[in-house]
Amino acid sequence: MLTSKQKQYLKALASKMPAVPQIGKEGNTESVLKSAEDALLAREFIKVKINQNSDEDIKETASYIADKLQCDVVQVIGRTCVLFKQKEKKSHYELP
């Protein structure tokens, strides 16, 4: 679990990041989960965006992905969510 101070730090970093996996009209598929998992392993910290043509709910999708990939939901805003999973060794981020 992230503290509110850690979430605030990560939210500030997320404002400059592009959304890596984007969910389209097919919805939350296995390929989206695989893409999110690969991005989390490489970056530890990703943004997921649901496109306008998708019927998915962002809050449900964020919690589903977080549950499947065992990561934390940092923020849900609009049609975008931010996810974080810190590496145990050699992490890119030093949380406050």
d(CA 18, CA 27) in angstroms, rounded, equals 19
State the pLDDT confidence band at 80, using cuts at 50, 70 and 90: very high
Torsion of CA 26, 72, 89, 20, to 10 degrees: 30
* pTM summary value: 0.90
78 φψ region: left (φ > 0), alpha (ψ -120 to 50), beta (else): left
**Tens digit of each residue's pLDDT (9 = 90 or more) over 46-60:** 999 999 999 999 999
Average pLDDT over the chain reads 92
> What's the pLDDT score for residue 28?
86
Average pLDDT over residues 1-6: 92
Closest CA to 83 of 59, 57, 56, 53: 59
